[in-house]
A and B are shown apart, each in its own frame.
Chain A
Amino acid sequence: MTISRENIEKVAVLARIQVDDDQVSALEKDLGNILDLVDQLGAADTDAVEPMAHPLDAIQRLRADEVTETNQREAFQATAPATEDGLYLVPRVIE
């Protein structure tokens, strides 16, 4: 299995990771090798098999609809790269 240059560039955009031109050929090789490994899955007969999402097939627990958390905005925002007036700062989005 090979993965094309275009596919790598598309996936990099989806994953929000900048990939420089000089990295693409190494990625073509590495991702191609990983996908070769993964292609062994095709050999398995899984026609009547249900996909398994949780090792114990447990279901999502529901909790009572009660307030359990306190507001800790300041503590949480203290770890942010840039904040102002309780807001996270990012480059201008709307001109």
Chain B
Amino acid sequence: MHNKTVAELARELDSGTVSSLELTQQLLDRIKKEDSKYNSFITVTEEQALADARAADEQRAAGNATPWTGIPFAHKDIFCTNGIRTTCGSRMLENFIPPYDATVTENFRKAGAVCLGKTNMDEFAMGSSNESSYFGAVTNPWGLDNGEKRVPGGSSGGSAAAVAARLVPAATATDTGGSIRQPAALCGITGLKPTYGRVSRYGMIAFASSLDQGGTMARTAEDNAMMLNVMAGFDPKDSTSIERDVPDYTATLNEPLKGLRIGLPKEYFSDQLSPAMEEQVRAAVREYEKLGATVKEVSLPNAKLAIAAYYVIAPAEASANLSRFDGVRYGYRCEDPKDLMDLYTRTRAEGFGNEVKRRILVGTYALSHGYYDAYYLKAQKVRRLIQQDFANAFKEVDVLMSPVSPSPAFIQGEKTNDPVTMYLEDIFTIAINLAGLPAMSVPAGFVDGLPVGLQIIGDHFAEARLLNAAHQFQQVTDWHQREPK
């Protein structure tokens, strides 16, 4: 059962060959037995999951099933879950039990899905390797058979590893600079970062509010479409949520791709990309040509500035968002503060890890008196240049294709000494967040036995087209079905 997709499990549940309770128990047992190798879960909610599974079976018996009724899945530990600990990978929130649900959490509850627990992540979603989690690094299921402990990518590394290891068929995730696509690529699964504003950010612990977007992780494009059907939509509780109709994302998966115009941004096939990776990505594009797509080179001349703009804007917004962790209203508080200033400064020094502190300091510096124009305003201007590049490209083509990461999953500890080396991991993903565009990572081959992701980028609100393109690719390839040993 653990090898089945969400769509397959929905059919099994529907035909009565398995109950949600049986399925849930099976996967919980599997997590108990296997997850010590990966550390992909921070919290497993066994009792709640079994109760939810029983309730789902009753719903189904009463004839009130949705496509998600009784399907087990997991939440990234960034989505608030009422009554269930939500840590965001931080000591600061080690014992935080939210008194409310995120809108995404509520949507899955209403659909009858069964949450098995909360997945590990880089602290406050700041990282590309899942090594900054207070709850320990996550290990990629790929490479373990060679005795290598590789990173799963980040920040949604727990979700990606759990899906790749067949502990859950699907998991929620978030993406601020690549945090869905890069771990999906490194773990050989399918992930989607939707258009900014498509999925509610209410109750999703904030990192950089103009970039953060919740999204989906599963093994197939079809399952990603089923997840987005539950997650997408206008939410009055999120002031940046977009009021716009939500299509049925599964309805257009089978549209033929004949005539699809694909653009290859030449800046994303640079010398930063290893030749072996490039060959896999180009082979995937050739599959699309066989499916009737046309391919041309396009240019994103300002893409090279994306990392620089991001490392002003994201830390600046983070420094403001994370000011709420003051040791007063919730979260960690230091022992025996001698005065209010000591309470604030020691709580934050002890509660946050090094990467989070670095980013808060950079952001505070960029926003401070005398530097605001040179850094923050300048970065926002460059952000517009980057967005205009994409807008120009989408006048000529329907989707853009590129690699997701410059290299496959690296060994744990390899990039932890120099923050900037780690930042370059997101060189092909970060501009998409600055432009607010939707993009996917789709399994597209292997290099040295490690998965390679193909990035498919669409214009704003083109999620259905991306899912269609990914699904059609998955009808003629089997990279997404490969299982780590």
Contact = CB atoms under 8 A, between A and B. Distances in A.
B165 interface: no
A38 B375 contact: yes
Interface in B405-459: 418-420, 423, 434-437
B382 A55 contact: no
B93 to A, nearest CB: 10
Contacts of A27: 358, 361
B65 interface: no
A92 B343 CA distance: 11
A17 interface: yes
Contacts of B380: 51-53
B150 interface: no
A18 B312 contact: no
Main secondary structure, interface of B, reads helix
Interface in B331-346: 331-333, 337-346
B368 interface: yes
Contacts of A8: 361
Given A17-B348, A35-B365, A41-B382, 13 more contacts: A34-B419, A38-B375, A40-B305, A44-B305, A44-B381, A50-B381, A54-B210, A54-B436, A76-B329, A79-B331, A90-B343, A91-B340, A92-B339
A56 B242 CA distance: 9
Interface residues of A, number: 55
Nearest to B377: A51
B328 A88 contact: yes
Contacts of B304: 40
B387 A31 contact: no
Interface string A59-95: 0110100000000100110111110000010111100
A60 B239 contact: yes
B99 A75 contact: yes
A81 B366 CA distance: 32
A87 to B, nearest CB: 11
B99 A31 contact: no
A92 B143 CA distance: 55
Contacts of B338: 91
Range, interface on chain B: 35 or more
Contacts of B257: none
A54 B240 contact: yes
Contact of B197 (A42, A56, A79): A56
B327 interface: yes
B309 A15 contact: no
Nearest to B435: A55
B357 interface: yes
A55 B348 contact: no
Nearest to B98: A79
Nearest to B238: A61
Contacts of A51: 377, 380-381, 383-384
Contacts of A42: 378
B337 A91 contact: yes
Interface in B171-228: 195-197, 210
A15 B319 contact: yes
A60 B329 CA distance: 27
B31 interface: no
A66 B155 CA distance: 38
Contacts of A16: 323, 326, 341, 344-345, 348
